[in-house]
Structure 1
Amino acid sequence: MTQSSVEQKLADIKAVLAKQEQQQKERLGMVNRLLGDFASFNKAERKRLLESVSAQMPSVELSEAFVRQAATVGAELKSAASFRDCLTRATRRRQLSGFRNELALNNKARGYRFVRALGVSHPKQLTKALKLDDIELQANTVLKPTNGSSSNGLFIVLNERLIEVKSGQTVASEKELREKAKSLMAKKAIKRNRWVLEELIADVDENSITPARDLKFYCFYGKLGFVLEVDREEGGRYCEWLPNGERAETGRYRNQQFEGTGFTQEQAKLALSVSEQIPAAFMRIDFLRSNNQFVFGEFTPRPGQYNAFNTDFDRYLGECYLEAEARLQQDLINGKSFNSFKKVVRK
């Protein structure tokens, strides 16, 4: 891409933003005129109007006068809650403060140490962290990078099959597997050349091996937002669940869904017991479930495609986040220590 094409793209973006700014000013003028007529409305009418406007406008466009009126009559500012905004803001907070907190658990070895301290089991690590060329593959194991995300670099090594987890595709040979892994490092999808072999959690019979299902618990400091169930057998199929066990309508994976089997309340309770020991408003806690095992997989503080939820679900998760922030702040004020977390992060 040439410098001139980059400049043109930036100019196009600037033109779109200018148009949006003008539209924002027009909407603000309309809202201000509405507020000017409030003296003729009773409290119930004011509340209804303010909630209707708030539900349709981004929170950044709500003026101080609007928010003050909403607080006076008890109108809910639903657009102020956004999971997307909360996670983006958390990234900026880490940039400014240097305190990585929950991001520290994204390191798999550190995550394992943390859950072990809480008495939670995880797959056995069969090798220490090594460079890719120093790893000798073994049957019925999983090869994974120590710092990865979105299933990048995750390979299942079966007796006679090699499977790339993210694509669900069979890899023709060990040579091709290593080439794929090195390509991911070259593209910076995997930042460090540090890999481990782990025990494969799967259902094994005489004729086949079925990899474990992923159960990804979206936890908000001890409370559950929803659960994502992932079937890795065919390259990734998804089923999403509300805390009460009903199917969730999140707006994601419309063409990649399957009829999952869900989760038990005991499984959710275990995930939430871990979440309560992390001083963060949000953490996705991933587990692996086979017929006979339910073990911790990894922590994911910033899930991939967190901007892909539909508006209603984004606001629902945003409210989960804000409510968790308030509870966490109160617990910190009351002196909760988070000792297990401190010990692991300090190492």
Structure 2
Amino acid sequence: MIVSALTSSSNILATARESDRALKAAISRLSREVARSADEEAVAELASLLSIASPHHVRSDEVLRKFGLQMGRGFSFWSEILLNRLASRSGGQSPVGLALNPKLRGYRFADLLGVRRPEVSDKFRLADLPLLPNTIIKPESGTGSRGCYLWLAPDTWRYVRSGQTLQGSSRLYDHASALMDPEGREKPIRDRWRYEELILEDPDNGVPARDVKFYAFYGEIAFGLEIRRDRETQTRHFLPDNNETIFPLTLKRNSFEGLGASKDELASIKRISKAIPAPFMRIDMLRSADGLVLGEFTPKPGTVAHFTPEWDHKMGEMWRHAQARLTNDLLSGAGFQEFKQATCD
């Protein structure tokens, strides 16, 4: 089996290298032909090959600029995220946006910007954690909704990740304790917990706030993600300007007819985004009965590797344009004082 796998890998590697050389040579040949004659068939053939090309396949961008052609893999949101991670692991500086990842820093930043956010407690060990009405229990650090418990009624909690209802404090403590087990299937959660104010969309009926998460590129919004958890978990991606439902992920999702975001809300998100000296930040909000409330900042979304090729390209292009705008603002003296003050510890 091992020999077979190695042979297979070797064949794949040889085929990939040959295809790589062939693609580079064909693009070079067609580029020269198009530059000489501007033949429509040659332009169309070149465009077809460029749709699967990366920058190392192209020796000159002159023809691309002249005929408005693009490389299908020239821009990539996933590549930008991945390269940032690799650079920081190889001794480079961590991406600036990570400074807002800790919840309390993000809340401090929101306070400085005058953005509403939930009230939050100090840290507790699980055994000492108070179980209070109208609160959410969360680990100090975690990913997604793992370890998050939503108060539903006296002595009744919902585990947000699965939708499971837990009756009684002992069941909640047992469930949370299992998440801290070093022998469990997933990385154990540290025994550091907080509770925070429960934001409700419909206080009269106890309907929890839906998530409204914005993929923001230094003042520009690609789209929003709306998540409703009052019954089963339902998700919906929407364009910010017209509330049109889109499907940017290769993953299948249970969509619904959502509320989107108002012009004032979008303006607020853009203002927050431009106060962060990073080309990308997902700004996660909660929809309360009287408007959006900050949830958290997410510099590395969990679904980042699952966008369709079209959206991965579009967001990669938005990243590069955002980086250029950010650089110009920094050269013009932008101070980002709120960000510096919030992250100075």
**Aligned mates of 2:10, 2:341 — CA distance in 1:** 47
Kindly indicate whether residue 240 of structure 2 is the aligned counterpart of residue 243 of structure 1.
yes
Kindly indicate whether residue 104 of structure 2 is the aligned counterpart of residue 104 of structure 1.
no
CA shift at 1:36, angstroms?
4.7
Match among 142, 148, 154 for residue 148 of structure 2: 154
- Same amino acid, percent of matched pairs: 33
CA shift at 1:28, angstroms?
2.6
CA shift at 1:18, angstroms?
4.2
Change (3 A) 1:112 1:323: same
**Aligned mates of 1:265, 1:189 — CA distance in 2:** 41
Question: Which TM-score applies when normalising by structure 1?
Answer: 0.87
1:140 corresponds in structure 2 to 134
Kindly indicate whether the alpha-carbon contact (under 8 Å) linking 1:143 and 1:154 is maintained by their aligned counterparts in 2.
yes
Q: CA RMSD in A?
A: 2.6
**Aligned mates of 1:248, 1:313 — CA distance in 2:** 10
2:77 corresponds in structure 1 to 83
Kindly indicate whether residue 209 of structure 2 is the aligned counterpart of residue 212 of structure 1.
yes
**Aligned mates of 2:73, 2:324 — CA distance in 1:** 18
Change (3 A) 1:255 1:105: closer
1:31 corresponds in structure 2 to 27
1:228 corresponds in structure 2 to 225
Residue identity opposite 1:323 in structure 2: H
Match among 109, 125, 129 for residue 131 of structure 1: 125
Within a 5 Å distance, the mapping from 1:7-86 to structure 2 comes to 16-38=12-34, 40-42=36-38, 49-54=45-50, 56-65=51-60, 67-71=61-65, 73-86=67-80
Query: Could you list the runs of 5+ residues in structure 1 that have no partner in the other structure?
Result: none
1:200 corresponds in structure 2 to 198
Q: Could you list the per-position Cα deviations for residues 11-50 of structure 1 after superposition, in whole angstroms to 9, with x for gaps in the alignment?
A: 8656544433333233333333323533542287776554
CA shift at 1:312, angstroms?
1.0
1:325 corresponds in structure 2 to 323
CA shift at 1:213, angstroms?
0.6
**Aligned mates of 1:282, 1:8 — CA distance in 2:** 43
1:308 corresponds in structure 2 to 306
| Residue-pair matches, total | 338
Change (3 A) 1:316 1:121: same
Q: Could you list the per-position Cα deviations for residues 304-337 of structure 1 after superposition, in whole angstroms to 9, with x for gaps in the alignment?
A: 0111111111111111111101100111111111
For structure 1, which segment, 138-147 or 90-99, has the greater mean C-alpha deviation from structure 2 after superposition?
Answer: 90-99
Question: Which TM-score applies when normalising by structure 2?
Answer: 0.88
**Aligned mates of 1:15, 1:182 — CA distance in 2:** 48
Change (3 A) 1:252 1:155: farther
Query: Could you list the runs of 5+ residues in structure 2 that have no partner in the other structure?
Result: none
